[in-house]
Structures are given as structure tokens and as C-alpha cells.
């Protein structure tokens, strides 16, 4: 029997975390599997303690949601120069000036997006083949992530230039031109699941606003294969909800 979620809205905590840390974490060596894998992150360094002890961790399995006071996301993305980086854990695209979002009166600047396979978040225990996490940061240092889920289908035109330019070696960077518009990554419908969570990589800092867009977009088998050639699996297991509420914006 499924337990009923409690209405427990946690405060959004200011995080002194850089954009690169949101994807790559600390300089301490960590992996997704093995002795330095996700099950042991909290043991690797004191600054990783939240990975093991935190009570508001991400990702989660979205099994039940409640229509509540969540508001639409105001997307204000724009074309920007970009750089594609292989950071040793994923492929990340850093944006010079890609615009941002507004949620509940708060403004966040888009600093980068990166990929996980399979999707870290699950919906009714279903994980998609790929997810893009668009990482935003406010002037106060608060983080907000928009997750775009991908299902296998047609080639994704928005990702064509990114996946064609993926660096093969950790630490390698490739320019991605001057006209990449992050809006092209988004589905036509912008309803989302929202909750309070954490970074999904070490140091697993909490207080992150998560917005998982409900409508998936398509990515081709060839594009998935190209990413998985570099990273076969780079997804953290789902974490306990611990009484948090998941609000749905229809």
C-alpha cells in the first residue's frame, strides 16, 4: 500500500555551488558504480556527507503528485555562444548568456545543461533513455533545475550540433558556435512536477528547486548510441521522498 505524501514545503536554501559543481561535484574521485560509486559517495569525503545523510535528496521516483500552488515557469532563453565540455562524468554545455527562467517571482540565469542516461528521475517507476538537466542559478546563489526527458524516436535537431561535437576525452572542450538557443530543447507543453531536492552528484547539496517537464521529447537511437559510447550509465539511483510533496503544474 502506498503511503500518502505529507504537505511539507522546505525552504529554498542558498547554495554556494558553482555551475560546474552542479554537474561534476568535487575534485575527490567518484563514479557511478564500484567502490567509488553512488552507494558510497557519502563515505568518500566529509563534504559528501549529504549524499548519505541528507533527507531531501534527488533524484526521486514520482509516483503521486498533488495539484497545488506551483506556478508556470517563465522561460526567457535566448541564443548564446556555447562550449561543449566532457567533464569526466557527463557531457556538459556551458552557455555564455543563454537567458533564464522566472518562477514564483524569483529569477534564475541558465548557466549550463548536461545529460544523464538513463534519466535519473523516474515517473511511476519508469526511467526514460536520456534526460537533460538545465541548471540555473540566482544572484543569491540558489539553484533551480529544469529536467527535459527524452524518449527514443526521431532525431532531435536541437541536439544534432551538440552530439556531433561531443569531446571524447575527459577535460576536453569544443566550441559550439554562437547561436545555440536552449528554447529548442523544450517540449511544446511546459507542465511540470516540482519538488525540493538536491544536486544528483557529489556533494549532493540540498535546497535545489526541481522542475521535471511532463512531456518528453524525442531523441534517435543513433544519438543515444553516440552519448552512450562516452557514458554508458551515469544516473544516480532514486532517493527516498521522506515526506516531501510533489506538486504538479498542469
Contact of 62 with 121, CB cutoff 8 Å: yes
Q: Is 89 a catalytic residue?
A: yes
Catalytic pick from 40, 89, 116, 211? 89
**Catalytic site residues?**
89
Amino acid at each position: 500500500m502506498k503511503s500518502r505524501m505529507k504537505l511539507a514545503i522546505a525552504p529554498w536554501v542558498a547554495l554556494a555551488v558553482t555551475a560546474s559543481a552542479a554537474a561534476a561535484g568535487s575534485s575527490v574521485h567518484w563514479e557511478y558504480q564500484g567502490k567509488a560509486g553512488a552507494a558510497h559517495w557519502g563515505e568518500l569525503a566529509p563534504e559528501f556527507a549529504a549524499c548519505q545523510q541528507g533527507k531531501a535528496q534527488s533524484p526521486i521516483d514520482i509516483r503521486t503528485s498533488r495539484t497545488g500552488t506551483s506556478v508556470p515557469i517563465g522561460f526567457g532563453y535566448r541564443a548564446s555562444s556555447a562550449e561543449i565540455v566532457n567533464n569526466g562524468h557527463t557531457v556538459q554545455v556551458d552557455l555564455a548568456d543563454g537567458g533564464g527562467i522566472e518562477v514564483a517571482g524569483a529569477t534564475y540565469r541558465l548557466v549550463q545543461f548536461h545529460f544523464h542516461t538513463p534519466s535519473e528521475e523516474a515517473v511511476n517507476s519508469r526511467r526514460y533513455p536520456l534526460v537533460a538537466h538545465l541548471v540555473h542559478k540566482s544572484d543569491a546563489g540558489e539553484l533551480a533545475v529544469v529536467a527535459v526527458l527524452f524518449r527514443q524516436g526521431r532525431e532531435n535537431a536541437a541536439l544534432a550540433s551538440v552530439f556531433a561535437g561531443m569531446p571524447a576525452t575527459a577535460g576536453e572542450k569544443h566550441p559550439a558556435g554562437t547561436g545555440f538557443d536552449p528554447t529548442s530543447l523544450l517540449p511544446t507543453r511546459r507542465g511540470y512536477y516540482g519538488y525540493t531536492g538536491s544536486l544528483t552528484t557529489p556533494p549532493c547539496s540540498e535546497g535545489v528547486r526541481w522542475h521535471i517537464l511532463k512531456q518528453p521529447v524525442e531523441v534517435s537511437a543513433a544519438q543515444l548510441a553516440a552519448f552512450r559510447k562516452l557514458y554508458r550509465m551515469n544516473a544516480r539511483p532514486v532517493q527516498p521522498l521522506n515526506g516531501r510533496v510533489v506538486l504538479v503544474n498542469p
